[in-house]
Amino acid sequence: MEESTGKRILNLAIPATIENLLQTLVGFVDTLLIAKIGLMAVTAVGVANTILNVYLAIFIALGVGTSSLIAQKLGAKDREGAVRIAEQSTFSAVIIGLLFGVLTLAFGKPLLGLMGADYQVMAYSTAFFYIVGGNSVFLAVMTIFGSILRAAGNTKSPMQVSVIVNVLNVGLDYILIFGIGPIPALGVVGTAIGTTVARMLGCVLLYKQIKKSPVSFELKSIFVKSDYAPLVRLSIPAALERLVMRVGQVVYFGLIVAIGAKTFAAHSIAGNIESFVYMPAYGLATAATTLVGNSTGAWDFKEAKRVAILSAAFGVLIMSFLGIILFVGSPYFAELFTSDAEAIDQIVTALRIDAFNQPGLAISLITTGSLQGMGDTKSPLYSTAFGMWCLRIIGVILLGRVLGWGIAGVWISIGIDLYIRSLFLAYRFRKNISARSHSSG
């Protein structure tokens, strides 16, 4: 039984991991293309993306509620209920995406101004923000369509669509940024158009896959009146968790800047390098959400526990191995980004500490997925709020600034946050399983 459970976990986790890796890689390529225009363009797109990432956080939160409920409905053999959740989440995505689009077009300049964009940066970022943010509905719908398919146990189609969309995105960006033949060079506007067109195609391709899935629905049916309370109950804590994390990141990034500009640069580079390492944990978290949700819907809490433990065990093994690579390879990775000796030393310090953080990161991410699969989105909210504000931010102040440990203090604080968060989330999962097992008995 355990072997078949492990195979099911990996069959869902591997495509999700590849999809995440591809998206991260394409983000790097996009940045390199934009950098050819100039550093001002990179800054402008970065400022706009900071706001767009808040939008994305809301869409992902809706996707968390969607995945959990659809997985539970399918586990309970309630196909009609699963289809109803898919319809509700699609309608919600359309409405929220359109609202963010209107917000962008109406208040784009003031929002960018709040981010500290000066008039030079504003010239680049406004056009980019209006085009990409104004078409937020495509990002919202694409995010939810992917969540629907993954909850139905199909992680391969989102991966395949992601390959097509991201290759198209890079190709269009190159053509529209620099121009080719009769097509003029549009610069930053070109990358915005390329991104939007690629997302439109992504929505169409993902919907075609949904039509072949157990949760197939007609687009006109999303307007049918139904009870949104369960979806709202799960999505709101997930949205708050994302927002607490985003706001906390802004605060603790500011604290790192106060330690020193070079320290912040080193921290950012180390974070970019680490982003490639933790993708397997996200893939396993996706698998855990779906399979724990299925088992919860079927009232098979023994299997839900088995999935959660096995997913976390896979995560610890894989992330520990990647941690060793991170520890040994950190000087070589750092030299890919900079030749500054002081910055390289700081990056190496950060990555070697982070190598020991990887098991904690694996458990926290994957157990969060397991809890969300059970329908508990409040425990991850509490753990993120406490971890970010009481451990990570205070840790940066005490270890990074007061004790003068610099970047070492920053990444030790991150590690403390991850391991304490893991303990709390594991405790909450055991408590939930125990309570539900007793109620079912």
Averaged confidence pLDDT in the chain: 90
Which of 60, 59, 28, 55 has its CA nearest to residue 42? 28
Predicted confidence (pLDDT) per residue in 234-287, tens digit = 999 999 998 898 888 878 877 887 888 778 778 888 887 888 888 999 999 999
Judge whether residue 310 has pLDDT over 80. yes
Q: Which residue has the higher pLDDT, 228 or 115?
A: 228
Domain ranges of the chain: 18-226, 233-441
Rounded to an integer, the average pLDDT of 344-358 is 95
Judge whether residue 372 has pLDDT over 80. yes
Whether 280 and 315 have beta carbons less than 8 Å apart is answered as yes
Whether 196 and 131 have beta carbons less than 8 Å apart is answered as yes
**Please, what's the b/e burial string for 13-25 (b: 16 or more CB within 10 A of its CB; e: otherwise)?**
bbbbbbbbbbeee
Rounded to an integer, the average pLDDT of 337-353 is 90
The CA distance from 125 to 119, in Å, is 10
Q: What is the pLDDT of residue 1?
A: 43
The CA distance from 132 to 149, in Å, is 24
- CA 318-235-146 angle, to 5 degrees, is 55
The CA distance from 290 to 12, in Å, is 9
Q: Which amino acid is at 363?
A: I
The CA distance from 372 to 57, in Å, is 16
pTM score = 0.88
The CA distance from 89 to 87, in Å, is 6
Judge whether residue 25 has pLDDT over 60. yes
CA–CA distances in Å: residue 418 to residues 52, 162, 246, 254, 384: 26, 29, 16, 20, 10
The CA distance from 56 to 34, in Å, is 21
- The partner residues of 183 in beta bridges, in order of sequence, read 180
75 membership: H or E segment, kind and range: helix 39-75
Report how far apart the first and last C-alpha atoms of the chain are (Å, whole number): 22
Q: How confident is the model at residue 116 (pLDDT cuts 50, 70, 90)?
A: low
CA–CA distances in Å: residue 90 to residues 56, 148, 212, 298, 398: 15, 9, 16, 25, 45
Residue listed under structure tokens 């995406």: 97
**What's the distance, CA 128 to chain centroid?**
22
- In this structure, of 55-59, 327-331, 436-440, the range with the lowest mean pLDDT score is 436-440
Q: How confident is the model at residue 39 (pLDDT cuts 50, 70, 90)?
A: low
Q: Which amino acid is at 394?
A: I
3-class SS shares of the chain: helix, strand, coil, % to 5: 90, 0, 10
Q: What is the pLDDT of residue 261?
A: 73
Rounded to an integer, the average pLDDT of 98-119 is 84
Cβ within 8 Å of residue 110, ≥6 positions away? none
Judge whether residue 337 has pLDDT over 80. no
Q: What is the pLDDT of residue 117?
A: 62
The proportion of the chain whose per-residue pLDDT surpasses 90, expressed as a percent, equals: 63
The CA distance from 238 to 242, in Å, is 6
Predicted confidence (pLDDT) per residue in 173-217, tens digit = 889 888 888 888 788 888 889 989 999 999 999 999 999 999 999
Predicted confidence (pLDDT) per residue in 53-99, tens digit = 888 889 999 999 999 999 999 999 999 999 999 999 999 999 999 99
Q: How confident is the model at residue 46 (pLDDT cuts 50, 70, 90)?
A: confident
The CA distance from 385 to 59, in Å, is 19
Please tell me whether residue 38 adopts helix, strand or coil conformation.
Answer: coil
CA–CA distances in Å: residue 314 to residues 9, 309, 364, 370: 9, 9, 13, 14
